[in-house]
Amino acid sequence: MKKPILALIACCIAQLSWAQQEDSLTIRRFADEVLTNGTAYENLRVLTKTIGGRLAGSPQMVKAEKWGEAALKAAGADNVYFQECKVPHWVRGEKEQARIISMRRDFVPPLNILALGNSVGTGTKGVTAPVIEVRSFEELEQKKDQVKGKIVFYNYPFNKKFIKTFYAYGDAVRFRGQGPSRASKYGALAVIVRSMSHSTDNNPHTGSTRYNDSFPKIAAVAIGLKDAEVLSKRIANDPGMKVFLRTTCQMLPDTIGHNVIGELRGSEFPNEYITVGGHLDSWDVCEGAHDDGTGCVQSIEILRSFKATGIRPKRTIRVVLFANEENGLRGGAKYAEEAKAKNEKHIFALESDAGGFTPRGFTTSMEPDKLRKVQGWSGLFLPYGIYDFSEPGGGADITPIHNQLGTPMAELSPDSQRYFDIHHAVSDNFEAVNKRELDLGAIGMGALVYLIDKYGL
Amino acid sequence: MKKPILALIACCIAQLSWAQQEDSLTIRRFADEVLTNGTAYENLRVLTKTIGGRLAGSPQMVKAEKWGEAALKAAGADNVYFQECKVPHWVRGEKEQARIISMRRDFVPPLNILALGNSVGTGTKGVTAPVIEVRSFEELEQKKDQVKGKIVFYNYPFNKKFIKTFYAYGDAVRFRGQGPSRASKYGALAVIVRSMSHSTDNNPHTGSTRYNDSFPKIAAVAIGLKDAEVLSKRIANDPGMKVFLRTTCQMLPDTIGHNVIGELRGSEFPNEYITVGGHLDSWDVCEGAHDDGTGCVQSIEILRSFKATGIRPKRTIRVVLFANEENGLRGGAKYAEEAKAKNEKHIFALESDAGGFTPRGFTTSMEPDKLRKVQGWSGLFLPYGIYDFSEPGGGADITPIHNQLGTPMAELSPDSQRYFDIHHAVSDNFEAVNKRELDLGAIGMGALVYLIDKYGL
């Protein structure tokens, strides 16, 4: 006989031990504080609306670091400090241009594009060339003899059949990452990549590309979904057409950035660390609200609300606003490097970098016995709509410390349906964030930090 | 030893019987169809953007009925018909006016209000009176001697501590429902009710009120949350202040409306019915996207995608777009009345009227053995993020048939965090709906209909 899942869940809750009942009350108190007095949403408003996009190396990055310092102090951190690291300094330059050039006399509106992060520009005169469309790398290989002197258009659609949209992203993002160099290998002049999104609008979605140094670096842009269809149809119906592309982006020498760190000192084991964070940088073309302003303000909120509700952690809770996740991961690398050099004891690292949407669970990377311990607390999360501890994962910025120190890690797993509508696009703005969804994420994260601090891992 | 919930869930899935594995594949096929070829979102766009608000008795209601008929035919219904019913005919009249009148010379912007549905107007000259603020009915009773000749302002805040926001609504909505008559009992001239919302904007949220015929009917309006604070502070700081209110709404004689019904005839038991629906009417001041355009288009989508994927139901699936949920529930009452009169056999009724957000479960009202049967299928829903079958409930429009015929009922239970931000306010528009969240709701509903049709209940 198969017992119904919910009966089992109810059974688990009914079986909460006395200690778990006490934990349930503490988490409830903490949750009430976040829901009624939380400052995450207002913090996010200030970050997104007064600073906005904050790419590594930009003047806005410097402002964001100062904002983070002030926000951590206001939240009641025992100490706040900067951890310096080198960051790449890529600049977008002038507004990108793209249009279809045709012998036909019909009017074709400009194509809506964004240069890919870290990409080189076309030069000020731009590139005008025929376009070859491919839907896979296999098709590129088949057509490699036709690529030379052309613009390669990777028109691989986001797979709608994945229920969790991060799988669709993982499936499609290789064209953004590897596409330019793989096309350059066969003599392409530039690359256009269909945006990694299933949005219903035409906003292009930027994001970083990685060149293979064996081949010439060529310009690379993302195109909005509607214009991807326009371009595809035009290629099919207008054999003589070309596309004009102009981008003036460039990579400047590395500059200085900082992880911004605030600590709540542990009362019993101050030299044991629990890291919780998000990344402070964002793409330049958006407010970086969901990616990853929400992760930053949720992490700060844990610190604030722990203090407000008298939760005094045994271990030191370190809130880290990481530098340069988007196009380098230098902040996360630096954090791991210093932790290793100082021989710090890190018992857990948690990140929120999958959007500030309504939370559903956590992805984790840790040993099976530790995971079982975490899953044993799942009844405490269910009242907040958090039920899914089943999938592997962890935040980009904490992956270095996980890899180098073996620190168990987890990432908040919010509902993913809306994320890639706005990811790396102009629509990733404050208005796309819901206050309560944001707060519930902070509650889930705070509950996990509270339990791991109390019981160890 | 307490087993972790997720291990139990995984265990349940692993234990899916052969029949359930087959069902899993059928549901997956159906889900893929909805996610890749679904028409719910486009149907919703047409309904909301070309018809808009469609209150019972309005010309838009008539257009919406024709839209529903056409959409059901396009989806492939075997037959489509109207079921006539009487509906109330309330009209809002001119744009409502409200402002603070003070001896002070400072400028106070007009207050943002909406008349409550079914309320009487103030008369064209409006009402100008001092305002007494209360935060509960208890406070009203305590101050009953001070109410005469005044406007009563119910400033009861939405309780943020409820994780599922429908509980906060259930807690607060009594002030909208009972407030006017309870104030009128003590001689109040009009009522202002704080909107039932925790939105961060200032949009007022309308909704129906119910007069007690023992007392004079007085004008009643909802006020936006920011203006509720403005008004409250003013009352405290400016004892001589009054408020001017003007509404010209009125209740006209009943008129004719229709439930719009489309059927997919059962192959084995055509005289056994499974009802699935939403309500076609909406408030006049918004597009009625989440309330309840989404429920209508999701229900239609089930019919379309069943046909597209060759799912031929044994029972007759009846998609019902109910008339007049918002201010009368006449459509739901009529549907139950006719089903009873015809002695129809209804084995299950399902509604979606809690928003088109990402689905999390179903609320249900049915006998325990039936509920256990449904919960036994929960492993089939988990891949779609649907895990919660624990709470009692059911749709408003199907409650009459549940009550009168004993039909087991369920309602889609989407994530509730955003719903009361937009409920009955101008912001309940097409833009607030996410295509994939809408589609996932339809998938969950379709899966439940498929299983109950196949196995009975």
Indicate whether B214 and B283 sit together in one domain. Answer: no
- The strand order across the sheet containing A131-134 reads A113-115, A219-223, A190-194, A151-154, A131-134
Using an 8 Å Cβ cutoff, are B329 and B400 in contact? Answer: yes
Show residues of chain A in contact with B418, CB under 8 Å. 434, 436-437
Show residues of chain B in contact with A385, CB under 8 Å. 163, 360, 415
Looking up residue B122, the CATH number of its domain turns out to be 3.50.30.30
Using an 8 Å Cβ cutoff, are A51 and A288 in contact? Answer: no
Indicate whether A47 and A135 sit together in one domain. Answer: no
Measured in whole angstroms, the distance separating CA B288 from the mean position of its chain's CA atoms is 9
Looking up residue B364, the CATH number of its domain turns out to be 3.40.630.10
Closest partner CB to B6 (pick from A160, A165, A375): A375
Q: Which of B417, B418, B435 to mutate to test the interface with A (most CBs of A within 10 A)?
A: B417
Show residues of chain B in contact with A4, CB under 8 Å. 372, 375-376, 378, 389
Residue B15 pLDDT: 57
Show residues of chain A in contact with B10, CB under 8 Å. 390
Instruction: Please give chain A's pLDDT, 457 residues, in tens.
Output: 334 444 444 545 555 678 889 999 999 999 999 999 999 999 999 999 999 999 999 999 999 999 999 999 999 999 999 999 999 999 999 999 999 999 888 888 999 999 999 999 999 999 999 999 999 999 999 999 999 999 999 999 999 999 999 999 999 999 999 999 999 999 999 999 999 999 999 999 999 999 999 999 999 999 999 999 999 999 999 999 999 999 999 999 999 999 999 999 999 999 999 999 999 999 999 999 999 999 999 999 999 999 999 999 999 999 999 999 999 999 999 999 999 999 999 999 999 999 999 999 999 999 999 999 999 999 999 999 999 999 999 999 999 999 999 999 999 999 999 999 999 999 999 999 999 999 999 999 999 999 999 999 9
Would you call B325 helix, strand, or coil by DSSP? coil
Q: Residue B401 pLDDT more than 50?
A: yes
Residue B99 distance to chain A (closest CA, Å): 29
Q: Which residues pair with A88 in a beta bridge?
A: none
State whether B387 and A36 contact (CB < 8 Å): no
- pLDDT tens digits for range B16-30: 678 889 999 999 999
Show residues of chain A in contact with B423, CB under 8 Å. none
Name the residue of chain A whose CA is nearest to B157's CA.
A36
Indicate whether A106 and A225 sit together in one domain. Answer: yes
Q: Which residue among A248, A280, A313 closes a domain?
A: A248
Q: Return d(Cα A131, Cα A110) in angstroms, integer.
A: 16
Using an 8 Å Cβ cutoff, are A278 and A353 in contact? Answer: yes
Question: Of the candidates B280, B331, B328, which has an alpha carbon nearest to the alpha carbon of residue B60?
Answer: B280
State whether A10 and B390 contact (CB < 8 Å): yes
Using an 8 Å Cβ cutoff, are A399 and A453 in contact? Answer: no
- Sign for the CA dihedral angle at A381, A385, A389, A393 comes to negative
Using CA atoms in the order B336, B338, B340, B342, what is the torsion angle rounded to 10 degrees?
A: -150
Q: Return d(Cα A382, Cα A379) in angstroms, integer.
A: 5
Indicate whether B76 and B109 sit together in one domain. Answer: no
State whether A5 and B378 contact (CB < 8 Å): yes
Question: Of the candidates B112, B115, B120, B111, which has an alpha carbon nearest to the alpha carbon of residue B211?
Answer: B120
Show residues of chain B in contact with A10, CB under 8 Å. 390
Q: What angle do CA A49, A51, A53 make, to 5 degrees?
A: 95
Show residues of chain A in contact with B7, CB under 8 Å. 372, 375
Using an 8 Å Cβ cutoff, are B413 and B1 in contact? Answer: no
With respect to residue A8, please indicate whether it lies within any of the assigned structural domains: no
Name the residue of chain A whose CA is nearest to B3's CA.
A376
**pTM exceeding 0.90:** yes
Indicate whether B366 and B436 sit together in one domain. Answer: yes
Closest partner CB to A2 (pick from B2, B15, B387): B15
Instruction: Note whether ipTM > 0.90 here.
Output: yes
Structure tokens at B34: 């909805």
Residue B384 distance to chain A (closest CA, Å): 6
| Axis-axis angle for helices B5-14, A368-375 (nearest 10) | 100
Residue A161 distance to chain B (closest CA, Å): 6
Q: Which residues pair with B279 in a beta bridge?
A: B322
Which residue has 């994420």 as its token pair?
A441
Tell how strand B242-246 and strand B315-322 pair up: unpaired
Indicate whether A407 and A274 sit together in one domain. Answer: yes
Indicate whether B126 and B81 sit together in one domain. Answer: no
With respect to residue A364, please indicate whether it lies within any of the assigned structural domains: yes
Q: Which residues pair with B151 in a beta bridge?
A: B131, B190
Indicate whether A265 and A221 sit together in one domain. Answer: no
Q: Which residue among B194, B220, B248 closes a domain?
A: B248
State whether A440 and B418 contact (CB < 8 Å): no
Q: Which residue among A221, A248, A275 closes a domain?
A: A248
Which residue has 């059927």 as its token pair?
B263
Q: Which amino acid is at B205?
A: H
State whether A161 and B358 contact (CB < 8 Å): no
Q: Return d(Cα B442, Cα B446) in angstroms, integer.
A: 6
Using an 8 Å Cβ cutoff, are A152 and A191 in contact? Answer: yes
State whether B6 and A379 contact (CB < 8 Å): no
With respect to residue A202, please indicate whether it lies within any of the assigned structural domains: yes
Number of compact structural domains in chain B: 2
Q: Return d(Cα B278, Cα B286) in angstroms, integer.
A: 17
Question: Of the candidates B358, B329, B366, which has an alpha carbon nearest to the alpha carbon of residue B416?
Answer: B358
The residue range of the domain holding A159 is 94-248
The b-or-e profile of A216-242 (16+ CB within 10 A means b, else e) is ebbbbbbbbbebbebbbebbeeeeebb
A325 a catalytic residue: yes
Indicate whether A271 and A380 sit together in one domain. Answer: yes
Indicate whether B97 and B37 sit together in one domain. Answer: no
- Please count the CA atoms within 13 angstroms of the CA of B95 that sit on its side-chain side: 3
**What residue ranges in B9-164 does DSSP mark as E strands?**
79-91, 97-101, 113-115, 127-129, 131-134, 151-154
With respect to residue A315, please indicate whether it lies within any of the assigned structural domains: yes
Question: Of the candidates A198, A436, A164, which has an alpha carbon nearest to the alpha carbon of residue B419?
Answer: A436
Indicate whether A130 and A189 sit together in one domain. Answer: yes
Mean pLDDT (chain B, rounded): 96
Name the residue of chain B whose CA is nearest to A31's CA.
B161
Q: Which residues contact A11 (CB under 8 A, 6 or more apart)?
A: none
State whether B198 and A390 contact (CB < 8 Å): no
Name the residue of chain B whose CA is nearest to A391's CA.
B6
Residue A20 pLDDT: 85
Indicate whether A381 and A306 sit together in one domain. Answer: yes
Question: Of the candidates B227, B215, B188, B166, which has an alpha carbon nearest to the alpha carbon of residue B395?
Answer: B166
Residue B11 distance to chain A (closest CA, Å): 9
Q: E strand or H helix at A259, and its extent?
A: strand A250-264
Name the residue of chain A whose CA is nearest to B436's CA.
A417
The active-site residue, picked from B325, B326, B411, B437, is: B325
Which residue has 């709509």 as its token pair?
A385
Using an 8 Å Cβ cutoff, are A298 and A277 in contact? Answer: no
